Amino acid sequence: MNKKKYNIVIISGPTGMGKTQASLALYDELFKKGVKSRIVNFDSLLFYKDLNIGTAKPTKKEMQSIPHEFIDITTADNPIDASLYRQMAEELINCLLAEDVVPILVGGSAFYLRALIKGMYGNQSLIDEKGEVAQKLKKEVDQMETSDIREALKTFDLNSFNTIHKNDRYRLTRAYLFYKTHHKPISEEKNKFDQENAYDFTKPINPNWRPLHIYLNMPKTDHYPLIQNRAMLMLKSGLISEVEQLLSSGLDKNLKPLQSIGYKEVIDFLETYKNVPYAEHNIDALAEKIFISTRQLAKAQRTFFNKI
């Protein structure tokens, strides 16, 4: 058994904290010291090549000069969940380590990061006796409204109903499918997972990894103006036009990537002002809604990361 420990670096923190610039600076410093490294993204929105303005991706110039992984690898109609990401990222990281390349994991999607470092709870596959995906069950939930999924959870997994955000279709669906397949609440699995030090990154699921976790944060009084300005900048940069193009291409507004912050608010905005002259559109109110949603996300990220 190989007992050698391999260094991996994690740069995390709430949205808008400057993680990209920190990762580029670290890459440069390692390069100067003769250490090979690779930036590995774990921000789930950066996976999608058709989502750009609302995702704060590294610039094309930055990605051309410094190698990045897991950016622009799929489209919004072919989303990547945490389980699939974990499989792909673990394989990549082990290949990098075998070549003495230090992975620099960068992002704010805490759930994806924890899935990679600690594994996942409730991740049993939805497989029937013939080895085929339970298409009937998946089709059933795909046709349900998010509110109907929540109501169903209310009857057989009240804890998930109370703790999962009403608009988080991915986790609501996951809880619904888990119960229907395994006949027990996914919240029970979560409790077991949490009791096994789910936030202790010094004990990763891969025993050969030695994580160095750099967590970026700042006072809320400094942070909020930054994300408020970023919300307006995204709109000035053409976020509304980007969303219009995505919808006109035939993408379903309920796709998980399009329910993310910025995109969801713009979709609601377009539906509200569908028959209203452009001069009467309240762009400032839209920017404020995006800011409030981003602020709520930052709060949730801080809560999660503070447990690690």
Per-residue DSSP letter, 213: E
Q: Which whole number is the average pLDDT over 270-293? A: 83
Above 90 in pLDDT, residue 132?
A: no
248-277 pLDDT tens trace: 999 999 898 999 999 999 999 999 878 766
pLDDT band at 127 (very low <50, low <70, confident <90, very high): very low
Question: Of the given ranges (53-57, 159-163, 165-169, 234-238), which has the lowest mean pLDDT?
Answer: 165-169
Q: Which whole number is the average pLDDT over 94-102? A: 97
pLDDT value at position 128? 39
H or E stretch at 82: helix 82-98
pLDDT value at position 2? 58
pLDDT value at position 126? 43
Q: Give pTM, 2 decimals.
A: 0.82
- Work out the mean pLDDT of the chain and round it to a whole number: 89
Q: Which whole number is the average pLDDT over 202-215? A: 94
pLDDT value at position 138? 76
Residue 116 vs residues 91, 111, 145, 149, 291: alpha-carbon distances, Å: 11, 9, 30, 27, 29
73-85 pLDDT tens trace: 999 999 998 889 9
- Which pairs count as long-range contacts for 138-142, CB under 8 Å and 24+ apart, including other chains? 138/177, 141/173, 141/176, 141/177
pLDDT band at 125 (very low <50, low <70, confident <90, very high): very low
CA distance 137 to 126: 9
pLDDT band at 129 (very low <50, low <70, confident <90, very high): very low
